[in-house]
Structure 1
């Protein structure tokens, strides 16, 4: 294994975009074949920008391996030697192995949950999240060739890392039993009692929202905050919203699901500052992280939520491509 080659890891989640929200909304569906095509385009962009070596996460559908077999370039392409269990731990383990092996960046194809799983163990390695999931806020909806180019420009130094891949915010959750976890976009406190199908879609069950991103041009829980008080990726604050069960008083109309505009009633909202702790009061409940029910909390158990500015480095492909263009990367004088 040549550690001196400029190396990028690629993680492709075969399960992204296939949760229950597809059945209760008009969410888009990205087939496995299209994911293979996206990876092929990413590989083309990475090679064109100077990347020399690729590490792939194996998956039960062989998406990345199928894409690599059709790539006719000169990059050295390898697959990680790791077991596959067909869950989000595959992504976390792969990202950790890639980071420890010396990759300069990781491209992750999936939704908010995939980005969250990939970010847990990568340390300072920048992440290029590409949207192939449902109701995505965190990953970029960008063409694969451009995502590959943008990542390659950061890896090769054509685009400045500090400018193109700033640290993102995160929402850190800790329980009194010692359990800890993280969300990148939203934490929802749901009155439901069981994890079930994981994906959360019933707004009536939610009592509180904690958001690191609340942009009007988004879909899902983040859109609720975006329509009340916008908070961008780069703002040093988050948003806490207390939702109302009474169906009276303040409400906001938000695209909670694709094709579905719903009135959402709320009693109050406040800006979250870094380091401030919020206690979960509505128990029993399920704490949903980035749209997926994750942590059940029983009466007598306690949990706190805190926003941090020390989240993962995230590549902004639009800034990376612009800086490369301004540096004249694409032009040659005759």
Structure 2
């Protein structure tokens, strides 16, 4: 009873910001440790099946093999039926395959970029994001054992709806009136005219910022708005900010250990459904990575919506499950 997906990105937490900033490296051995605890928690609470994203390091298989024989769980573990590319597309494809195969929730190990790709493929399936990336505004630091327990009570249908499972916001990116991509935290209009290095770390390249959320304790571009006009994940609004010469200069942590001084020309709250027009050659970075090129003569739009992925709050899920008596042994 219960079917859970695991998407562990072996590349998360290893981009150029490790060289230009001071981010913690979450190596793949630690991801194996986290997944091992996930498996044991899922099995202990009666989850019968795990589907995982295949990847070049073998995080999930390594976790299972490293569990001693005495604690080896009786649980079906299989790889998602997909072709590996070794790129971020794998997270999208894995989420889509899992959604079609009937998983009841998906646990992710990665940062904002990993979860953006999962959000594009997971459809209606709720996700439980564990932070192992560089920018970790969307995922949270949750211990693997607790994450496994929370995922289990959702997968088994013991808890549903808010506050255990919450809707999130997203930004739809349109190019010449065609939907081309999404962001779950921020879309950043850069002065660049080609993608180049994907990670965004140079604040001097930023022209405009549109965020679904941004709070003072965040790390990344969303921290700029978070230190000026904070917006929480549940607020029915976002923020648009224009960078440039003005009366305001702002200090914000745009990468781990990297505190930048940002000149702010203007800023304002934006409503759900509002569309921001972009009519200039630029590159739009999504959740910290350059993704969309807008050439001269092309137009882009950024739309704020509240139809992002459903997100599991591990603490709230377990609180709700306890009220249902899930921890009683029968």
In the other structure, the counterpart of 2:219 is 219
So what's the TM-score if we normalise by structure 2? 0.95
Match of 1:14 in 2: 10
**1:174 is the counterpart of 2:174:** yes
Deviations 1:184-243 (A, max 9, x none): 000000001221120111111001000001111110111111110110011110111111
Match of 1:321 in 2: 318
Q: Distance in 2 between matches of 1:136 and 1:163?
A: 21
Q: What whole-Å deviation, never above 9, does each CA across 1:98-147 have from its counterpart, x for those lacking one?
A: 10011101111111011010111211110111111002100111111111
Size of the aligned set, in residue pairs, is 326
Bigger mean CA offset, 114-123 vs 323-332: 323-332
2:50 match:
54
Alignment counterpart, residue 256 of structure 2, candidates 239, 258, 283: 258
Q: Following TM superposition, by how much is the alpha carbon of 1:177 offset from its aligned partner in structure 2, in angstroms?
A: 6.6
Partner of 1:250, secondary structure, is strand
2:281 alignment partner, one of 259, 284, 306: 284
Three-state SS of the structure 1 residue aligned to 2:108 is strand
Once residues 99 and 330 of structure 1 are traced to their aligned partners in structure 2, the CA distance between those partners, rounded to angstroms, is 28
Q: State the distance in 2 between where 1:100 and 1:76 align.
A: 18
Does 1:185 find its partner at 2:204?
no
Give the distance between the partners of 1:112 and 1:12, measured in 2 at CA: 13
Question: Is the 1:56–1:65 Cα contact (8 Å) retained in structure 2?
Answer: no
2:129–2:139: 8 Å Cα contact kept in structure 1? yes
TM-score by length of 1: 0.94
Contact 1:215-1:226 within 8 A present in 2 as well: yes
| Residues 40, 68 of structure 1: 8 Å contact kept | yes
- Unmatched segments (≥5 aa) in structure 2: none
Task: Note the residue ranges of structure 1 that are not aligned, 5 or more in a row.
Answer: none
**Is 1:173–1:306's contact at 8 Å kept on the other side of the alignment?**
yes
Bigger mean CA deviation after superposition, 72-81 or 92-101? 72-81
Determine the C-alpha separation between the residues in 1 that align with 2:201 and 2:316: 33
Q: In the alignment, what sits opposite 1:140?
A: 140
* 1:65-89 CA-partner distances (Å, limit 9, x unpaired): 2112234111111112322111111
Give the alignment partner of residue 297 of structure 1, picking from 294, 305, 315.
Answer: 294
RMSD: 1.6
**Cα drift, residue 332 of structure 1:** 6.8
CA distance in 2, matches of 1:331, 1:121: 35
Contact 1:280–1:304 under 8 Å retained in 2: yes
Higher strand proportion (structure 1 or 2):
2
| Structure 2 contact 2–152 (Cα < 8 Å) conserved | no
Counterparts of 1:1-334 in structure 2, within 5 Å, are 5-71=1-67, 72-176=72-176, 178-244=178-244, 246=245, 248-281=246-279, 283-330=280-327
Is the alpha carbon distance of 1:85 and 1:332 closer, same or farther for their aligned partners in structure 2, counting shifts above 3 Å? closer
Following superposition, the deviation at residue 257 of structure 1 comes to 1.5
Q: Which shows bigger deviation, 177-186 or 120-129? A: 177-186
